[in-house]
Amino acid sequence: MTTKRVTTHTLRAMKSQGEKIAMLTAYDFSMAKILDLAGLDVLLVGDSASNVFAGHPTTLPITLDQMIYHASAVMRAVKRALVVVDLPFGTYQGDSKNALQSAIRIMKESGAHAVKLEGGEFVVESVRRIVSAGIPVMGHLGLIPQSINKFGTYSVRATQEAEANELIKDAKLLEEAGCFSIVLEKIPSALAQKVTNMLKIPTIGIGAGPHCDGQVLVTHDMLGITQDFSPRFLRRYANVFEIMHKAFTTYVEDVKKINFPTEKESY
Ligand code: KIV
């Protein structure tokens, strides 16, 4: 049986039919396979790999080559979901030709379906150029982690009128420039609702309330593999840290006590 792939058009149709879009992050083959089989509509090869995979305190250090490595592994596993890959910090800001080259490398070398980039007005030229080359682009507004050094904190964005109005303007600009969807991160629920109602393209929220067209979380966070990150918006669906810790300590014990392997597990 062939599986019907999710495309950017599917997402647009889901918005108009009121069906919510489920998105999570993926960075490797094994996890991507489980996520795809579980029915995720979109897998994001997020630059959050810099945090949860490589252990950096921010998303800034991850490179284009590293993102392509993660995206290629995910693409080998996925049969149904739309795979979106983050353009990492420094590969698209300030120079739309450079942005296009970065996006082309991701598409050519990983086989992914789309790219995502952070920011509003200052990335519009890059969005236009990438979209005109036939590459679907997802936007990202609100808390944009690649700009952490500008904002200084990871707290809720656009709580004041001026910043909220700027976000509304940016969302319109991104839609006009050709984005197929926009992530809204850590903004007030009422603002996310307003933006969602205003746009024809779907919004995907993270810490942006229930009115967005879809939701995204970092998989390692929602699985409870990471332990030191507990914002209000994060629902933990499992405590995989505990399950893995138990399995590893039991294995150590078994090896030490020569309970593993048994004769039945030997040749
Ligand atoms: O990199 C990432 O995981 C993201 C999500 C938090 C939206 O951008």
Rounded distance between C-alpha atoms, residue 202 and residue 216, angstroms? 13
Distance between Cα 211 and ligand 1 center (Å):
19
Tokens (6 digits) for 257: 């006590």
Domain ranges of the chain: 8-236, 239-267
Beta bridge partners of 44: 25, 84
Tens-digit pLDDT profile for residues 27-85:
999 999 999 999 999 999 999 999 999 999 999 999 999 999 999 999 999 999 999 99
Tens-digit pLDDT profile for residues 100-118:
999 999 999 999 999 999 9
Give pTM, 2 decimals: 0.97
pLDDT of residue 86: 98
Distance between Cα 225 and ligand 1 center (Å):
16
- Give the single-character DSSP code of 121: G
8-236: CATH number: 3.20.20.60
In the three-class reduction of DSSP (H, G, I as helix; E, B as strand; rest coil), residue 41 is classed as: coil
Catalytic residue among 185, 242, 253, 263: 185
> Sorting pLDDT into bands at 50, 70 and 90, what band is 3?
confident
Q: Which amino acid is at 190?
A: A
Rounded distance between C-alpha atoms, residue 64 and residue 109, angstroms? 11
